[in-house]
């Protein structure tokens, strides 16, 4: 995956955070407004180009947990649609880059457990869930299991 030069988020502030994070191996950019972040790299489902985004995350054992909230908007974020199409992703956590397989957590009990874990890390997810539900969208919970 790393052979191509990845494109950063189309959202300017996310793109800037992502670039700074990568250039500084996390550094001061690991924490965003007091919340831990990683850089997720996916392959574009239409373009085939690598795409990267800085995202808030949690850990469940060795696995990474991500919330495809998109701030509660009616549609899923593009990074989520990309990993559904191609679950092979990479994650940069500070200076460490890990490849993994991303899956949407479908089991209700497991999803609820991981959702609670992530709301404890980033409380606004609870508000985003209400907004998404108003648009008939259930926010996906994503598990990335490192390869190897």
> DSSP string covering 95-143, please?
TEEEEEEEEE---HHHHHHHHHHHHHH-THHHHHHHHHHHTT-PPPEEE
Task: Encode pLDDT of 55-77 as tens digits.
Answer: 999 999 999 999 999 999 999 99
Second-level CATH architecture of 7-146: Roll (2.30)
Share of the chain above pLDDT 90, in %: 87
Alpha carbons 101 and 89: distance in angstroms, whole number = 6
Tokens, residue 131: 């907004």
The DSSP element (H or E) to which 40 belongs, if any, is strand 35-43
Cα 27 to the center of its chain, rounded Å: 19
CA angle (83, 52, 115) in 5-degree steps = 55
Q: What is the pLDDT of residue 3?
A: 53
Look at residue 1 in the predicted model and tell me its pLDDT.
Answer: 42
H or E element, residue 7: strand 7-8
Band (2; pLDDT cuts 50, 70, 90) = very low
The C-alpha atoms of residue 14 and residue 29 are separated, in whole angstroms, by 11
Relative to beta strand 7-8, strand 50-56 is parallel
**What are the pLDDT digits (tens) for 12-45?**
888 898 999 999 999 989 999 999 999 999 999 9
Predicted structure pTM score? 0.94
Query: What ranges do the domains of the chain cover?
Result: 7-146
């Amino acid at each position: 995956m790393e052979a191509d030069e990845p494109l950063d988020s189309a959202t300017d502030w996310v793109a800037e955070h992502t670039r700074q994070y990568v250039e500084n191996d996390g550094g001061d950019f690991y924490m965003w407004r007091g919340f831990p972040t990683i850089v997720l790299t996916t392959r574009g489902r239409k373009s085939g180009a690598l795409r990267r985004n800085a995202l808030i995350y949690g850990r469940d054992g060795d696995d990474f947990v991500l919330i495809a909230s998109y701030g509660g908007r009616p549609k899923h974020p593009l990074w989520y649609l990309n990993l559904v199409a191609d679950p092979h992703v990479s994650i940069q956590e500070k200076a460490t880059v890990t490849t993994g397989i991303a899956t949407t957590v479908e089991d209700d009990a497991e999803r609820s457990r991981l959702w609670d874990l992530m709301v404890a890390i980033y409380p606004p997810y609870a508000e985003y869930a209400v907004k998404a539900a108003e648009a008939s969208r259930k926010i996906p919970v994503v598990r990335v299991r490192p390869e190897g």
